[in-house]
Chains A and B, each alone.
Chain A
């Protein structure tokens, strides 16, 4: 039996690449992002007191490059977590697989879509 039956391709590569991209992005910049946006920015430590003011945040979200950063970070971080949480819940036999997929990949897909729409609605 040297000629094997062609195997059915898995679609896992799509999710795995999104997981990998999110994992690498968060590994390279995650700690810095948390410190900047959640600790140093709001308290004005080492940064201007109005660093994260409404006007500044709006200007950032209206800048095309700022939009790209927000979409990449938010969606890829969700896709990264979705893959890891799905596989762990599967290991734990936490529920039927379609339900687990919906609760992980489904949420990541929804957040990606809504983020895209919010960035459009906020305008340029």
Chain B
């Protein structure tokens, strides 16, 4: 096929639009975009913004599944727009909506404030077991100790797991898969001593106990972080802690 013939082919994008200044509620609008075989959904959105409608809003940055900005619902599934290619989608119109379970700020842009607060609530930094001075040297770790938490450090905060989680949909206060993966990234680190603080933060009904092990969060994760594993192994930890906390001397109350 010649280049000209390829470019005459078009694809329809049905986009859920919402402009808070003028729209009462979101509604779908369709755009015809010139199609090429190597085009991602993100490129299609950029084409629309550049050539058809400059008011279309969406977040993006790296174009290579690293920054986690372009999460959205594509044909009803939470996906990164940058690594979802039009050629891999079934023929017919492509439906694009803002990430499910989050309030829409504008078009495909959602509110992330609550998610950031949840991440802050689980002490997302190493709390050293024994603080060392620079003179005392670095903290050492074996490859096996690194392997214990490394996959959980791959999270890019794209929030696809939250869009896939029906329990987060039912209860927006649920700490959710992504923040729990980050929690396990630190709790599983051999240099860290903050496990008890973090366990205390998730022992409530809105902590691990809102999870019912549906497991779709892990299936939609573009970085194979396996947040379902992070939550469910901490259910075990939290359950034992429920009984052990009565025995601890320093326990509150």
A16–B205 alpha-carbon span in the complex (Å): 13
Chain B residues whose C-beta falls within 8 Å of the C-beta of A8 in the assembled complex? 204-205
B235 at the interface (CB under 8 A from A): yes
- Count how many chain B residues have C-beta atoms less than 8 Å from C-beta atoms of the other chain: 22
Q: Could you give, for residues 189-232 of chain B, a 1 whenever the CB lies within 8 Å of some chain A CB and a 0 otherwise?
A: 00000000000111111110100100000000000000000000
Chain B residues whose C-beta falls within 8 Å of the C-beta of A87 in the assembled complex? 212
The residue that B200 contacts in the complex, of A6, A11, A14, A91, with Cβ under 8 A, is A6
Q: How far is the CB of B243 from the nearest CB of chain A, in Å?
A: 8
- Count how many chain A residues have C-beta atoms less than 8 Å from C-beta atoms of the other chain: 16
A27–B91 alpha-carbon span in the complex (Å): 43
Chain B residues whose C-beta falls within 8 Å of the C-beta of A11 in the assembled complex? 242
Q: When the two chains form their complex, are residues A16 and B235 in contact, meaning their CB atoms are under 8 A apart?
A: yes
Chain A residues whose C-beta falls within 8 Å of the C-beta of B123 in the assembled complex? 2
B40 at the interface (CB under 8 A from A): no
Chain A residues whose C-beta falls within 8 Å of the C-beta of B200 in the assembled complex? 6-7
Report the number of A-B residue pairs with Cβ-Cβ less than 8 Å: 41
Q: How far is the CB of A59 from the nearest CB of chain B, in Å?
A: 37
Chain B residues whose C-beta falls within 8 Å of the C-beta of A7 in the assembled complex? 200-204, 206-207
A35 at the interface (CB under 8 A from B): no
Q: Which of B120, B201, B235, B242 has the most CB of A within 10 A?
A: B242
Q: When the two chains form their complex, are residues B242 and A9 in contact, meaning their CB atoms are under 8 A apart?
A: yes
Chain A residues whose C-beta falls within 8 Å of the C-beta of B243 in the assembled complex? 13
Chain B residues whose C-beta falls within 8 Å of the C-beta of A91 in the assembled complex? 166, 170, 212
- In chain A, positions 1-52 with a C-beta closer than 8 Å to chain B are 1-2, 4, 6-14, 16-17
Q: When the two chains form their complex, are residues A16 and B204 in contact, meaning their CB atoms are under 8 A apart?
A: no
B89 at the interface (CB under 8 A from A): no
Q: How far is the CB of B136 from the nearest CB of chain A, in Å?
A: 25
Q: When the two chains form their complex, are residues B239 and A10 in contact, meaning their CB atoms are under 8 A apart?
A: no
Q: Which of A1, A10, A16, A91 has the most CB of B within 10 A?
A: A10
| Nearest-CB residue, chain A, relative to B239 | A13
B145 at the interface (CB under 8 A from A): no
Chain A residues whose C-beta falls within 8 Å of the C-beta of B203 in the assembled complex? 7, 9-10
Q: How far is the CB of B118 from the nearest CB of chain A, in Å?
A: 11
B252 at the interface (CB under 8 A from A): yes
- In chain B, positions 167-201 with a C-beta closer than 8 Å to chain A are 170, 200-201
Q: When the two chains form their complex, are residues A12 and B120 in contact, meaning their CB atoms are under 8 A apart?
A: no
Chain B residues whose C-beta falls within 8 Å of the C-beta of A16 in the assembled complex? 209, 235, 239
Q: How far is the CB of A34 from the nearest CB of chain B, in Å?
A: 25
Chain B residues whose C-beta falls within 8 Å of the C-beta of A4 in the assembled complex? 121, 201
Q: Footprint of A on B, CB under 8 Å?
A: 120-121, 123, 166, 170, 200-207, 209, 212, 235, 238-239, 242-243, 245, 252
Q: Footprint of B on A, CB under 8 Å?
A: 1-2, 4, 6-14, 16-17, 87, 91
**27 pairs, A vs B, C-beta closer than 8 Å:** A1-B120, A4-B201, A6-B200, A6-B252, A7-B200, A7-B202, A7-B203, A7-B206, A7-B207, A8-B205, A9-B203, A9-B242, A9-B245, A10-B203, A10-B207, A10-B209, A12-B205, A12-B209, A13-B209, A13-B239, A13-B242, A13-B243, A14-B242, A16-B209, A16-B239, A87-B212, A91-B166
